[in-house]
Structure 1
Amino acid sequence: MERRKQPPLVESSACLCRVDASLKSVAGAKKFVPGSKLCIQPSIKASIHPSKLKTARGDRSRSQSPLLPGLPDDLAIACLIRVPRAEHRKLRLVCKRWYRLLAGNYFYSLRKSLGIAEEWIYVIKRDRDGRISWDAFDPIYQLWHPLPPIPGEYSEALGFGCAVLSGCHLYLFGGKDPHKGSMRRVIFYSTRTNKWHRAPDMLRRRHFSGSCVINNCLYVAGGEGEGVHRFLRSAEVYDPNKNRWSFISDMSTAMVPFIGVVHAGKWFLKGLGSQQQVLSEVYVPETDNWYPAFHGMVSGWRNPSVCLNGQLYALDCKDGCRLRVYDGDADSWSKHIDSKMHLGSSRALEAAALIPLNGKLCIVRNNMSITVVNVGGNNSRGSEDQCWETIAGKGQLKTFVTNLWSNITGRNRLKSHIVHCQVLQA
């Protein structure tokens, strides 16, 4: 008997299926999203943090008041979707109908279709005692926002992976629990519900694995496991539309990746083998094949990197104030973008992540300072000095004090350091 295929957990395109049942605006709202259609989708899985929610039944349209007094619901929605994202937490507290509207796919799909969705930076960090915490940064208002705590199984975990699917779901997977060892567990945070949810477990227990997202599917490969053969060759992929994991071809050799990037539709990985030798491999999703990589792109690649608009960039110094650009024609990292204002070599100022943000490059450091680089503005003469902008920082005096204190007390005494950094849209 053929297994019934489940509809997608989250549809990236706009749909009208998650509108409050009492709204009369489904037909009218279609004019805001050309080509949108009704679809059948299950509700997002129950939150990890349980809450008591009463299921509404029957037709409530006659008894309920409109979303905004004096306005039809379609116009009310047109107003609410334009409220800045920083205020959405307050909107959810107004009434149950507003809460249901903001917790569904429809509201944020509409914002995305109209080009008013906002990107925030999410930083996961570990303190001196090994505890995990995280924060969200709003680049428009340049403010840090509180978030629901990370579930207990990841509060002290080591070597867990992190990736974003559908632009709004942040996944944590694998890792090593200090007491239970290597894990298969997968959880995800949704910007649409502001809660953590469970996802299907991985097929293998692994930590310190490599991961990437291609065509909105999550790929995980290598890492360490339990037992004699700790270094893993196996790889697997999670498809959110099918809501399940499946194995893909094994890597050529077992590896613990320490860096990876997707470029030209291929997944490049670089890591250490069982004999502590440096290995490089590339995966081609179309053919489901791995093969060793030895060319110039991999040989000169050693720092966090990201692909933006088809161009590959990498950090070229510890403080992230100089970038390297991969030249595909010469097969080398021969181009550079330099801010000409370096911060120092302390670990607090060390660049921990390079991520894309609103069409620009974003550098995040361990002291939570953030610099945005407009790589599209470094072509004209004289524009290179103006393309670097600090949107969250400690100031020049505090930077000087940080370097001085680091030299006095030693560079390893950090209050916290960044483990993962991602961009989520809502």
Structure 2
Amino acid sequence: MDQTVERSPNAQRGFRVQAPLVDSVSCYCKVDSGLKTVAGARKFVPGSKLCIQPDINPRAHKTKSSRRERTRFQLPLLPGLPDDLAIACLIRVPRVEHNNLRLVCKRWNRLLAGNYFYSLRKSLGMAEEWVYVLKRDRDGRISWHAFDPTYQLWQPLPPVPAEYSEALGFGCAVLSGCHLYLFGGKDPLKGSIRRVIFYSARTNKWHRAPDMLRKRHFFGSCVINNCLYVAGGECEGIRRTLRSVEVYDPNKNRWSFVADMNTGMVPFIGVVYDGKWYLKGLGSHREVLSEAYIPETNTWTPISDGMVAGWRNPSISMDGKLFALDCRDGCKLRVYDEITNSWKKFIDSKLHLGSSRSLEAAALVPLNGKLCIIRNNMSLSLVDVSSPDKQVETNPHLWENIAGKGHIRTIFTNLWSSIAGRGLKSHIVHCQVLQA
């Protein structure tokens, strides 16, 4: 701080230091943030007790420069470590503890709420995959939980938004590996809707997305090149089935129409295989139809080959092969052979569970490089489809049932599993895998 020196009338008294006239806005900020303490200020301002101008309200003037100054002295993420090393430690914390990490402090919460933390986990191969199951309970309402395969536990999640708590015929898909989208469907009171919401596995919260261009329910959907495609279905008030197809691009954050299908359809099975989107469903006259969409040419082609003839739900395309179940409880798998244009037996677990509704296989998803089978009673099986020549008897890890291990960990999950097993009206609606 500059000082003004005046010559005293009495030269023998020496010099007298006079505090200069300063701007009241900058006075407190300079003394407090620059010198940090009043003791430090007294070294440069003789005779001052609190500030050069004691009538300044210290809370009245907080400029952007003062805020920037404070950020320079913020506490480290981990005491005694630079932030880059602290982040290297935090990204190694298991995903199940991430909600607790957010509660430690504001800096940790901001770190885990951003994309950098999880992008770093993904690039270093530390991202964990969880299975997310949406289920319609006996009362007709939608509930959902996430399965952690590392600890084999079902984890609680924030409730499904009210608009989808009782919806029928809605779609479900995953974009960017960590965003689970719910779209379209039929509300019991409002009818067909075009609303779109998504859940982020990184923030553990639900968010809104742009609505679809057309109201529809019981339609087909898929993801190609991280774009969401929706085709066919029904719309309340229109007696015929829909032919329209639309696509959502998350980078542009908007929907747009693409080529219509040749005929209207209510799909009951679909899969992306060999760069094409295959759909099989019922037409307006209840006849079975099948078409394939080619994204490169934006065209639809009718198909009637051996793949469609023996195609059963659920199915999945994984490692360049098309798999489907061969029995009700999902203990047998088939694979499509392009050479013979037919389905062949692939692998048998040799341990069949039964044919009840609760044991029926509802979905196939890829999980940590293996094929995961999910049944209505929330039991899971992992199948290593990379080595089908090995016998199940000699390799127990080829077909592994991980169902009951997680449910006996807590009273809640154990009770929930028992209820799900008895309730024939309870069934899985959608199943997806999210990374974080």
- Shorter-chain TM-score tier: 0.7 to 0.9
Shift of 1:64: 1.8
Secondary structure of the corresponding residue to residue 401 of structure 2: strand
Shift of 1:340: 1.4
Determine which of 337, 344, 355 is the counterpart of 2:347.
337
Partner in structure 1 of residue 233 of structure 2: 223
- 1:141-199: CA deviation from partner (whole Å, max 9, x where unpaired): 00010000000000000000000000000000000000000000000000111000000
**Mapped contact 1:325–1:337 kept (Cα < 8 A):** no
Partner in structure 2 of residue 104 of structure 1: 114
Q: In structure 2, what residue type is equivalent to 1:212?
A: C
Q: In structure 1, what residue type is equivalent to 2:81?
A: L
**Mapped contact 1:108–1:192 kept (Cα < 8 A):** yes
Secondary structure of the corresponding residue to residue 376 of structure 1: coil
Q: 1:383 to 1:375 in 2, by over 3 A?
A: farther
Aligned residue runs from structure 1 range 267-346, under 5 A? 267-346=277-356
> CA separation in 2, counterparts of 1:415 and 1:278?
27
Partner in structure 2 of residue 53 of structure 1: none
Shift of 1:394: 7.6
> CA separation in 2, counterparts of 1:271 and 1:384?
41
Partner in structure 1 of residue 244 of structure 2: 234
Shift of 1:335: 3.2
**Mapped contact 1:337–1:384 kept (Cα < 8 A):** no
> CA separation in 1, counterparts of 2:174 and 2:273?
17
Shift of 1:254: 0.4
Partner in structure 1 of residue 36 of structure 2: none
Q: Which runs of 5+ in 1 are unaligned?
A: 1-56, 396-410
Which runs of structure 1 show a deviation greater than 3 angstroms over 4 or more consecutive aligned residues?
Answer: 380-385
Partner in structure 1 of residue 402 of structure 2: 391
Partner in structure 1 of residue 14 of structure 2: none
Q: In structure 2, what residue type is equivalent to 1:368?
A: M
Give the TM-score taking structure 2 as reference length.
0.79
**Mapped contact 1:303–1:316 kept (Cα < 8 A):** no
Shift of 1:425: 0.3
Secondary structure of the corresponding residue to residue 202 of structure 1: coil
Q: In structure 2, what residue type is equivalent to 1:213?
A: V
Partner in structure 1 of residue 186 of structure 2: 176
Shift of 1:358: 0.8
Determine which of 357, 362, 387 is the counterpart of 1:352.
362
Shift of 1:379: 2.1
> CA separation in 1, counterparts of 2:266 and 2:275?
22
Identity between Structure 1 and Structure 2 (%)? 76
Give the TM-score taking structure 1 as reference length.
0.81
Q: Which runs of 5+ in 2 are unaligned?
A: 1-65, 407-420
- 1:243 aligned onto 2:253: yes
- 1:372-410: CA deviation from partner (whole Å, max 9, x where unpaired): 001113224567763110112389xxxxxxxxxxxxxxx
Q: In structure 1, what residue type is equivalent to 2:326?
A: D
Determine which of 414, 424, 431 is the counterpart of 1:421.
431
**Mapped contact 1:372–1:389 kept (Cα < 8 A):** yes
**Mapped contact 2:184–2:195 kept (Cα < 8 A):** yes
Shift of 1:226: 2.2
> CA separation in 2, counterparts of 1:381 and 1:339?
9
> CA separation in 1, counterparts of 2:276 and 2:152?
34
Partner in structure 2 of residue 16 of structure 1: none
Shift of 1:228: 3.2
| Relative contact order higher in (CA < 8 Å, ≥ 6 apart) | 1
Secondary structure of the corresponding residue to residue 287 of structure 1: coil
Determine which of 243, 265, 268 is the counterpart of 1:258.
268
Shift of 1:334: 1.8
**Mapped contact 2:349–2:392 kept (Cα < 8 A):** no
> CA separation in 1, counterparts of 2:334 and 2:89?
43
Shift of 1:131: 0.5
> CA separation in 2, counterparts of 1:183 and 1:191?
25
